[in-house]
Structures are given as structure tokens and as C-alpha cells.
Amino acid sequence: MNEHFLLFDVGGTDIKAGLADSNGEILQVLREPTRKVAPEDSAEVLVSQLQQLGTRLQDRAGAAAASAGLIVCGLVDADEGIGIFSANLGWRNAPLKAMTSTALGLPVGFGHDVSLAARAELELGSGAKDEALRHNAVVMIIGTGIATALMVDGRLISAGGYAGELGHSQVPGGFECPCGATGCLETVGSAGAIAKRYFDKTGLKVGAKEVFAARAAGDEFAASIINDAVEALTFTMAQLCSSVAPEGIVLGGGLAQAGPEFFAELEQSLECRLSFHRRPRLISAHLGADAGLQGALILAREASGVQAGQAS
């Protein structure tokens, strides 16, 4: 039977919505800015936006979806179907799964964006033919910030939505962080931090990619910022090696595009911090920007056959 699935990836800036067929092919994708409203209205406005996107996708394809997969940013309690908190969008303890299911009239699979992108990466990307990696891995998305998912013994660690916030774990040499703490990894180790520190010193508004190019051209300040990022990242990676001992650390996001030299630097720096520990392979993520929608598809398939409005 050719079933169709609605897919929603809700980020702080925009929503990606897609329609997939039963072969897992994503037939259409719509992207629009996430509507910004007062925090108390944010969940309702989001759900009506999802409903409109869903209608457009199904009308265009002339197909009715069997279920939907919804992933959202922020803190998420996937088991309870609740968006606990989104700093960008404002909701608190919103029953997003049930609200969306009622609005669409479909069963909905619900989860956290980073966790599901990581699951897609491990099931369909770098871990597809690598059972060891699928069972014990850390997926680190290094972009503006640093988002992390921990797969331990075949289970994604959630802890009610609070696990995996390694971007906000302290590292030596970290700076003040918008989260309110001081010393967070993402204030030094992210692509955003590299660009910001370079701008603060030089006044040049560039991305991390340009800072790498500046280093290659002999810019010592660029080299020192990148070195700080490497040291901060491997400080955290070493702690992961001694706590959850991943077989591999899969790196995605902008900084993972920095090339083999950057991976070699990370490997060397990490090696200096380890003794008896299992050495994780450092792997570049295979799935690109669509990892989120692929993750939503995993949830939609799981939800297919469950009645609309049902809690799980």
C-alpha cells in the first residue's frame, strides 16, 4: 500500500514541512519562517501553521497522509508528547503532540529535533552499515551552537528531555553564555564562537569557513581561535569517552565541513587526553540538512496505525 506521511521539522527560525511516500522518498518540501507571537499563544499558532502546511502539501500531491512526524527544537519530553520549553518560540509545557494530532486528524509521532536527526543519521546515514556505531555513538552538530545526542547501548538518552546538552557543559577557557552560565563549550568550540571571536578582535564579519581560510593564509589570531575550539571540543569528547565510551563521534553542522585537517587535529588532541579509554572514530555526518525530516519520517512511520489523538 502506498501510504503518505507528513513531516514537520520546527526550528527557532523556520519550519520545514515535507510529504514522503511509503518508499521513504520525500516528495515535496515547504519551508517558511516560524511565526513569532506572544509566548502564551506560541503553541496554538504553531499548530495552526502546521495544519496549513499539511493541507498545502496534501493538496499539491493529491494524496492523504496516513500519519505525521513532528520534531521540535528546545527541551522536549517525547514520551509525554510535550514541548517543555523553547527559548526561541516561547512555549512552556505545551502538549504539542496531542494538539497537532487533533488539528491534523492524524496519529502523530513526536520528538526532539536533534535526537531524531541523530537517529536518522545513525539508522540511515553513517550508522546504516555499522552496527557498533548504531549502538554506541555521540552525534554532535556544531553550528551556531552545539547540539548533541547520546546513543548508549542502542538507546537514545533523553532523561525527560534534559540529556545531551553538551553545548552547555563547562570547558576551560569558556566565556559567558547566553544561557546564563559561564564557560559553556559552545562559547569556544562552535562555528558561531569562532566567527564571533574573530569579529570581536578584527571587526570582520565572516563565517568560521573564512577564519579557517585566514589561518591557512598565516593569520595567527585565526589559528589561536581554532586551536581553542579544538581543545574545548576534545575536552568534552574525552569526558564522553570516560562516561559513555562511544564507538564513534559523528560530527555534523558547519564545522564538520572544515575538512580532514580539522578532523586530524581533533584526533591528535583527543588522543593526548586518553589512556585506557576506547578510542572513538571521528566521523563526518552523511545526512545533510534533511536529517531532521528523515527523523520525522521515522516517527511518522512508527505512528502510522495509531489512532488520531491517542497519547502514544
Minimum Å gap between C-beta 256 and Zn ion is 21
Q: Which stretch binds Zn ion (CB under 5 A): 47-55, 134-142, 170-178, 300-308?
A: 170-178
Phi, psi of 170 (to 5 degrees): -80, 140
Indicate whether 303 belongs to the interface with Zn ion (CB under 5 A).
no
- N- to C-terminal Cα separation, the chain: 23
How far from chain centre, in Å, is Cα 278?
A: 25
Indicate whether 177 belongs to the interface with Zn ion (CB under 5 A).
yes
CB count in 10 Å sphere of residue 233: 27
Indicate whether 232 belongs to the interface with Zn ion (CB under 5 A).
no
| Helix (H) or strand (E) run with residue 307 in it | none
| The only residue of 4, 97, 119, 168 in contact with Zn ion, by rule CB under 5 A | 168
| The only residue of 29, 45, 124, 179 in contact with Zn ion, by rule CB under 5 A | 179
The β-bridge relationship of strands 67-72 and 108-112 is parallel
In this structure, what C-alpha cell is assigned to residue 84?
517543555
Angle at 98 (CA atoms; ends 92, 103), nearest 5 degrees: 110
Q: Which stretch binds Zn ion (CB under 5 A): 8-16, 68-76, 164-172, 271-279?
A: 164-172
Q: Which stretch binds Zn ion (CB under 5 A): 181-189, 215-223, 248-256, 260-268?
A: 181-189
Minimum Å gap between C-beta 148 and Zn ion is 13
Minimum Å gap between C-beta 73 and Zn ion is 15
Minimum Å gap between C-beta 185 and Zn ion is 8
| Helix runs in 6-112, H state only | 42-61, 96-104
**Nearest CA-CA partner of 191 in 171, 209, 214:** 209
| The only residue of 184, 229, 270, 293 in contact with Zn ion, by rule CB under 5 A | 184
Q: Which positions lie near Zn ion, rule CB under 5 A?
A: 168, 177, 179, 181, 184
